[in-house]
Structures are given as C-alpha cells and as structure tokens.
Amino acid sequence: MKVPPRSFRRRAKGERMAKYLVTGGAGFIGCNLVRFLLEKDCQVVVLDNFSTGRRENLEEVAGGVELIEGDIRDRSAVDRAVGGCSAVFHQAALGSVPRSVEDPLTSHDVNVNGTVNVLEAARSAGVRRVIFAASSSAYGDQPVSPKRESMPPLPRSPYAAGKVAGEAYMRGYAAVFGMETLSLRYFNVFGPYQDPHGAYAAVIPAFVSKLLAGKPPVVFGDGEQTRDFCYIANVCEANWLAANAPAEACDGRPLNIACEQATSLNQILDQLRKLLNVDVQAEYAHPRPGDVRDSLADVSCAKETIGYEPKVLFAEGLERAIEWYRDCL
C-alpha cells in the first residue's frame, strides 16, 4: 500500500537537522521508525542488506533517506553509514526464534558479531549514542509476572541468547568507552509493514492473512499462552525518547517497551473474527521449541528513565493494523 506523502516542517535558515542511522531500516520496525524520524524532520540514513527487509517498505520515502545497501557484519559498510550521525538506532537482526533453532551459527553471527561491529564503527566515528533493539525473549519462561528488568536473563533459544549478549555489549561499551547506550526490550511488536507471509511470520499478521483468505490459522500450543502485544507507534516513540534522554540515563540499561496488557492467542483469534467478520477456526499444532508460555511487562522503569508511556493500547492497535492489512493483502 502506498502511504500519502508527508508534509514536513520548514526549517529556519541555518537550522541543522539531526542525522540518525537506522540499521535494518527496510524491516518492519525499521521502516516505521524511518517514517517517524522523517516526520520529526530528521536526516535519516538506512543500512540494510535486504535479507529480511523489503525494498517496497521504503518506496514512498526513498527520496528522503540515504540508503546504503550493506551488511552490519561488513565494517566498511557500517563505517560509511555512521558518518556524521549523532545516534544509531540498531534495529538490524536476523529475527525469529524458530530460525535461530534451525541455524544457531548464522543467528549468532548476525545478531552478536554484527552488533559489536556496529558499536565499534560508532565508537570510531565518534557517534555519541546507540539504541539497541533488545527483546522480551531475554526473560525466557520465568514464572514471575510481570517481567521486570531486575530479573536475571534466562534465554530459551539462540535468538534470545544473542539478544542478551547484545545487551551485555551495550553495558560494556557504556562502562569502558563512555558511550551512551540503551537496550529497549520490545514485547511482541505488531503493526503496518509486518510481513504476513513465510515460515517466520509473526502471529498477528499470520492470523489476519489466513482469516482474510478463509483459511485456518495455525496455533502452536493450546492458544492459552499470553503475550504483551505492543503497537509499533509505541516502539517508535520509545526510540525517540531514548535518543533524547539525559546522558546519565544511557548506561546500557535494559528497558521494557510494552503496554502492560496480557492477551492470549485464543483471545486474539476471537477479536480478529469479530473485526474481520469471519468464522474460521484455528488448527492447533505442537508447541515450538524455544517459545515461552507467558509474557507480560512492567514498564515503570522505562517511564522513570525516558518518560515512556504506551499511547496506543492493544485494541486500538489491532484495529489500525487490520485496516492496513485489508489494503495490502
């Protein structure tokens, strides 16, 4: 779906735009963040190798960004991308727990070695701040709910382990090199530009695409597992707040980014059937290795540290997402 052109604020004479790098800027979260930054009248550089990101995600904003096609593991590509930037939003990753179970080495190489490469390039270029896309998968299956950042990480998959390693590097670079870093632990982000197709599609777009096609969506497990689903607008706002937080707050600490609402997969299916006006039942399959049972966040630390408040709660976010998918599928 084409998005209408944005109207940008006219800058005062001599005013300088902030310049930011978004790694993985052609991916779901990255391309939404790119649009958000353009609306803030920022200069935006995108680094993406298009292994999972899609060129179509940037089509209508291509004229407003500097696009560098390259891999975060390629130091020369990252060096070119970070030049002149005041901060890096490090969104690039090889996502999906099942994919990491099938191929742990590649998951590690991209998500851990690639992250260190980004940090090193930023440090060499004098970039003051790196905001890392961390993950709620760090908590694993701890029975305590809601999840708080003070809990020890208990990753259940190679993907989760790689994200925890990325957090550790953010803390290490802050402590040793004085870089300003934060790790935003995203909880089940959903919204426009999230790919509904393929073996690793996220649950909401996968459900919507199946229901719209009149086909039964597949639920791994009994469907009573819960997630704290977070609409993409909240994630973009959290990144902006992190980029503008006081320097003393940026010591590599992790921050939960979520809505503090637990919703089961069966509840999502019920809501989707009503919103889409369909009566298609799900097929239930065995749980997948590495999946966690329940996930609910406490976001009080993010509120205190960067002023984060979820503005779009699950029900409203789901309606917005469905409106977008109706036009695209």
pTM: 0.90
Contacts of 267 by beta carbon, 8 Å cutoff, 6+ apart:
none
**Catalytic entry in 159, 173, 193, 325:** 159
Beta strands in the chain (DSSP E): 19-23, 43-48, 65-69, 87-90, 129-135, 180-186, 189-190, 218-220, 226-227, 230-231, 251-257, 263-264, 283-285
Tell me if 214 is assigned to some domain.
Answer: no
Tell me if 284 is assigned to some domain.
Answer: no
Bond prior to 153 in cis (omega within 30° of 0): no
Domains contained in the chain, number: 1
Tens-digit pLDDT profile for the chain (329 aa)?
333 334 334 444 444 579 999 999 999 999 999 999 999 999 999 999 999 999 999 999 989 999 999 999 999 999 999 999 999 999 999 988 889 999 999 999 999 999 999 999 999 999 999 999 999 999 998 888 899 999 999 999 999 999 999 999 999 999 999 999 999 999 999 999 988 775 545 788 888 888 988 999 888 888 888 889 999 999 999 999 999 999 999 999 999 999 999 999 999 999 999 999 898 898 899 887 767 777 899 999 999 999 999 999 999 999 999 888 887 76
Tell me if 244 is assigned to some domain.
Answer: yes
- Print the domain residue range for 54: 19-187+230-259+296-312
User: How many C-beta neighbours within 10 Å does residue 106 have?
Assistant: 14
Cα four-point dihedral sign 12, 16, 22, 23? positive
Tell me if 43 is assigned to some domain.
Answer: yes
Does residue 193 have an active-site annotation?
no
- The pLDDT, as a whole number, for residue 294 is 78
- Cα dihedral 320, 259, 218, 1, rounded to 10, equals 30
- The pLDDT, as a whole number, for residue 199 is 54
- The pLDDT, as a whole number, for residue 198 is 58
CATH number reported for the structural domain that contains residue 63 in this entry = 3.40.50.720
User: Can you tell me which residue has the tokens 């406490």?
Assistant: 298
- The pLDDT, as a whole number, for residue 290 is 67
Tell me if 151 is assigned to some domain.
Answer: yes
Tell me if 57 is assigned to some domain.
Answer: yes
- The pLDDT, as a whole number, for residue 153 is 95
Half-sphere exposure of 116 (CA within 13 A, CB side): 11
Tell me if 199 is assigned to some domain.
Answer: no
- Angstrom distance (rounded) from CA 146 to CA 153: 14
- Angstrom distance (rounded) from CA 153 to CA 101: 18
Q: Are 324 and 3 within 8 A, CB to CB? A: no
Tell me if 39 is assigned to some domain.
Answer: yes
